Amino acid sequence: MPVSTALRAALVAALFFLTGAVFAQAYEAKLAEDLHTHPQLCERVPCTEVFPGAVRFSARKGRPAYVEAYDAADALMGYVVLSTDVTDLPAYSGKPVVTLIGMDKAGRYVGFKVLKHSEPILLLGIPESALVRFHDQYLKRGVGEQLEVGGGSGEAVHLDAISGATVTVIAQNQVIATSAQAVAAQVGLLPPTVRTPARFALQGRLPTWAELVEEGAVQRLVVQPQQVGLPPSSEPFIELWFGSLDHPEIGSALLGAEGWRSLRSRLKEGEHALFVIRTAGQESFKGSGFVRGGLYDRIQIKQGRELFSFRDLDYLNLYALHAPGSPAFSESALFILRSSSFSSAYPWKLNFLGNRVDRATGQRSFANFEARYWLADARLEGGRPEVQEAASGWQRIWGQRPWALTGFVALLLATGIVYAQRERLARLSTHKNKWPIDGFKYSAWLLSIFFVGFGLLAQPSITQVLTWFHSLLFQWQWELFLMDPFIFCFWVFIIVSTFVWGRGLFCGWLCPFGSLQEGLFKLAGKLGMKRWQRPVPQALHDRLKFLKYAIFFGLFGVSLFSMTLAEMLAEVEPFKTTFLVGVLNRSWPYAMYLALLLGLALLIERPFCKYLCPLGAALALPSSFRWFGLLRKPACHTCKACAKGCGSQAIDAAGRIDHRECLHCLDCMVLYTDAKACPPLSQERKRREREGLAITPIGRDGHFIPIVPVPVVAPAPAQDPRCATEPVRPPHFDAHGWRWLLAELRHHLLPWNLAELRAAKAWQVAGIGLAVAATLGWLLAAQGRLSAVGLIGWWIGWSVFEVLLRRQGLNYVKDGPWWRAQYRVANPLDMVSYVGFKNLLIGAALFLFLQASGRLLT
C-alpha cells in the first residue's frame, strides 16, 4: 500500500475511533463492475429490500431499464428501477447517489435503498439513517404526485429536508421522480403526454449545412476523453451531429429531395425521423447492444418525461448528406421514432450514454451527455408553442423561500451600509457610551445567531473555500454553488467586504458562531464572571494566532489528495454541531468539543476565531490587501490606550492595526475622536481649556482642527502606525504610460531584482532554474503528459520559492486600492498572501485554457 494511502487510511480510522462514529455503509461502496449491463439486475443488488414480499424478479426490460417483481403466486407486484439506469444527476459531491427504487403496479413508492453515495455530510456528521427517514416520506405516495423538498406550492406535497444536507436531498428528490416517472410512463402507469403535431412553415429554398447549423436545425454534441475518465487527447471521445428530418425543406436539404420523399413514404402516421452522424472520435454511438439484442443502447431521445430508444427495426442506413458544406463522417444512422406523443414542434434532447471510468476507483458506469434541439421559430406555423419547462434544481430552491431570502439579503446590505458609516457613528459615540455603534453591532450578532445560524443554517465553512478552489482549477459548475441561495449570497457579500474592508466585518459582525462566542463572553461578564475574564498574554497570543493558518494550509494540502479526508478534518470547525446538524444529533466527542470551545468563550474573547478558525485564516490572507482600513494617527505610536482595550489583540506595540486579525469591534475608532478618552486629544483639550482657547472640531487626522489654519507638518515617528509597515518606493514608481505597465507586468511575473543579482546570486540562479521547471510543467500539462495534481504540486513548489526569492530582493507589496501607487515593506504573511493569490489567479487562467483545449489530464 502506498504511504499516502496508508496515511489517509490511518487518519480516517483514527478519526472514527475517536468519535465513535460508524462508517457509513453506502459511502463510496464498491459496486459490481457490470451493474449497469448485467441482464439480471437483482443478482447484483438486493431488490427484495425495496420490494417487500417479492420472491422473483425478471430480467432487465425496456428503455430505460427496469425489472418486474413477482409474488409467490407469480403475480406481478410492481417494478424496481436503478436510478443511474435513468439519470446520473449529481448531488452536492458532484457524483450521483446510486439508488434502488421500488414501486407497485398502482404507481406507488414501496421502498428505497442507497447503494452508493459520495456525500461527506452523510459520512461524518449526519447518519445515513437520516436519508432513510427522508425516503420514508415517499412511501405509499404516487409517482405522479408533485413532491417538493422544503416547499410546496399549489398542488405540490411538502417534504421535510435533512438539516445540513438540503442540497443532497433536493438532488435526490429529482433523481427519484425522474427515475420512477420514466418507468411508470413506459409501463402505462402514467398517461402519455399529448402534444400538438408540428405544422411546418416553408421558406421556398433549401438551406446549406452552415445555415442549418446557424439556425439550430442541426446540433452538435461533443464528449471529451477526460469527461469519461480517459487521458486527454487532441481528438474528442466522440463528436456527433444530429437533427430532425420531419421538416420538408430541412429533410430535403440533408437527404436530397428524392431521398426525403423516399423516407417519408416509409413512415406511418405519428412516426418521425432524425439523423445522427459521427464526425470525430473512435467511440460508436450505436454501441454493442444492437449486436446482442438489436438495441441501440447509446442513443436516446428525451422529450418532457418521455424517453425514446431505438431497436434494429427503427434503423435505416444513411449513406450521404446532400446539404452543401456537409462534413465527412465515419458513422451514420437514420432513426425512426414511433410514438404519437412526440412532436417536432416541441424541444427535445439527444441523450448519449458514454461508458465512464472513475479515475480514483477504476469503477465503470454510464454517464449521460445531452444536447438540446428545437426547431427555429420561423420553421413552424404560428411560431414555437409556449412550453412550461421545469425549472432547474437551483431555480426551484431560490423560489421556495423568497421572504427569508429577501430578509437575509436586506440584512447583508444594511450591515454593509451601517459599517460604511463607521467614522460618523464613531464620532457620535464615546468611550462610556458606544451605543451608536454597539446598537447596530449587537443587533447584527443576534440576527446572525438566531436568524442566519439556527434559522437559515447559513454558516459559511472552510469546506466551501476548498470546493471553490477545486472547482476553479478542475471543473467549474455554477449549479454547485447556486444550490444554497443563502450561502451563495453570503459568499458574495464576504468576498466583496473582505477586499474592501478586510475580514473583520464578516468575522466580527455576521459570522453566526463568532457572534455566539462574543455574545456568551459579554453575557458572562454581565453575570459576574468579569473578574475571571483575562486576555491571553500578548506574547503567547502572537504565537497562537498562527495556528489557524497552519490548520488552513494543512486542510488545503490534504484536499489536493483527498477532498473527502479534508471534509472530515474540517470538523475542527464546530459549525455542523452547532447549527447544521445540532448537538443532540451528534456523538459525544463533537458535543464535548463544542462545549469546550463555548466554555473557553466565557473567559476568553472569541478563542476559536483568534486561534483555530481555518475560515478566518483563509479570509485573513486577502485582508492583507483590503482597500480601506481603520484610522490611525502618529501619536498612536506611543499611546497604548487602544491596544489595552482591543479584544482581538490586533494592535501591536507600535500602535499599528493588523487587519488580518482585527474583528472590527470599532472601539479604537471611538477612542480616535473621543476628546475625553483618547490621551493625546485629552491632553490637547485640557491645554486649550487652561489657556482659554477654542475647542475646535476634531479633523479626520484625529486631531483638533488648528485654531489658526497654518499647515504644520509634524515629523512622523520612526514606526508610523498609519501604515501597516514602513512605506517603500519601488523601482518602477516613477514610470509612466506603457513603461509603467511593462514594469508592473515584470514585477508580478518575474520575481528577480536584477540590481541585486550579484548580491544574491545563488537565490537568483536557483529561482531561474525552478521557474524553468515550473514552465516545463505547464508545457507537459499542455501536451497531456502531466496530471492536474502533479501540475499543482509544481506550481505550489514554485510559489513557495517565489515567496523566499521576493523576500530577498523585491520585498514590498501594494497597500490600499489598486489605483493608488502606495507600497510598503512586506512582512512574511504579506508576501505569502500576495504570491498565493497572484499565482492562484494565473494558475486558474492557465487551467481554464488547458481545459478548454481538452489537454488537461485530470
- Distances in Å between the Cα of 438 and the Cα atoms of 152, 431, 445, 642 are 40, 12, 10, 17
Q: pTM of the predicted model, to two decimals?
A: 0.78
Q: At residue 392, does pLDDT exceed 70?
A: no
Query: What's the burial of 694, exposed, middle or buried (CB within 10 Å: 0-12/13-18/19+)?
Result: exposed
720 pLDDT more than 90: no
Percent of the chain with pLDDT over 70: 84
* pLDDT score at 433: 92
Query: Of 466, 473, 471, whose CA–CA distance to 846 is shortest?
Result: 473
Strand-pair category, 147-149 with 157-159 = parallel
Of 262-271, 377-386, 394-403, 584-593, least confident by mean pLDDT is 394-403
Q: Where are the beta strands (DSSP E) in 719-833?
A: 812-814, 823-825
Q: Which of 261-275, 342-356, 759-773 has the highest mean pLDDT?
A: 261-275
Report the amino acid identity of residue 647.
Answer: G
Question: What amino acid occupies position 317?
Answer: N
The three cell numbers locating residue 45: 443488488
Distance CA 561, CA 839 (A): 20
Give the C-alpha separation, 812 to 823, whole Å: 7
Considering only residues 574 and 32, tell me which one the structure prediction assigns the higher pLDDT.
Answer: 574
Place of cell 482581538: 648
Q: Cα torsion at 393, 397, 400, 401 (round to 10°)?
A: 180
With residues binned 3-state (H G I as helix, E B as strand, rest as coil), the percentages for the chain, rounded to 5, are: 45, 15, 40
- Check whether 291 has a pLDDT greater than 50: no
- The sign of the dihedral angle between the CA atoms of 197, 201, 204, 207 is negative
To the nearest whole number, what is the mean pLDDT of the chain? 84
Whole-angstrom Cα distance, residue 170 to residue 162? 10
Those residues with Cβ within 8 angstroms of residue 424's Cβ, 6 or more apart along the chain or in another chain: none
Instruction: Tell me the pairing of strands 348-357 and 295-303.
Output: antiparallel
What average pLDDT does this structure show over 449-473?
A: 87
Helix ranges (H only) for 83-237 are: 128-136, 166-187, 209-215
> What does 337-377 look like in DSSP terms, one character per residue?
EE-TT--TTS-EEEEEEEEEE-TTT--EEEEEEEEEE---G
C-alpha–C-alpha distance, residues 354 and 285, integer Å:
9
| CA trace torsion 770, 775, 778, 780 (10° rounding) | -90
Query: Which cell numbers in the block locate residue 371?
Result: 444536447
Residue 508 near residue 448 (C-beta atoms within 8 A): no
How far is the C-alpha of 811 from the C-alpha of 745, rounded, in Å? 16
pLDDT digits (tens, 9 = 90+) for 641-692: 998 889 999 999 888 999 999 999 999 999 999 999 999 999 999 999 998 8
Residue 447 buriedness (CB in 10 A; 0-12 / 13-18 / 19+): buried
pLDDT value at position 592? 94
Q: Tell me what pLDDT residue 23 has.
A: 40
- In this prediction, residue 355 carries a pLDDT of 74
Strand partners, 66: 61
Separation between Cα atoms, residue 638 and residue 721, nearest integer Å: 10
Q: Which of 163-177, 696-710, 782-796, 823-837 has the lowest mean pLDDT?
A: 782-796
Residue 94 scores a pLDDT above 80: no
Residue 618 neighbours by CB under 8 Å, 6+ apart: 462, 465, 552
How many Å apart are CA 528 and CA 506, to the nearest integer?
Answer: 29
791 has pLDDT over 80: no
- Which residues are CB-contacts of 13 (< 8 A; sequence separation ≥ 6)? none
> Which pLDDT tens digit goes with each residue over 603-624?
999 999 999 999 999 999 888 8
Asked if residues 538 and 649 have their Cβ atoms less than 8 Å apart, the reply is yes
Q: Which of 97-106, 126-135, 400-409 has the lowest mean pLDDT?
A: 126-135
Distinct helix (H) and strand (E) counts, the chain: 30, 18
Secondary structure (3-state) at 168: helix
Residue 389: all three cell numbers together:
419547462
274, three cell numbers: 432524425
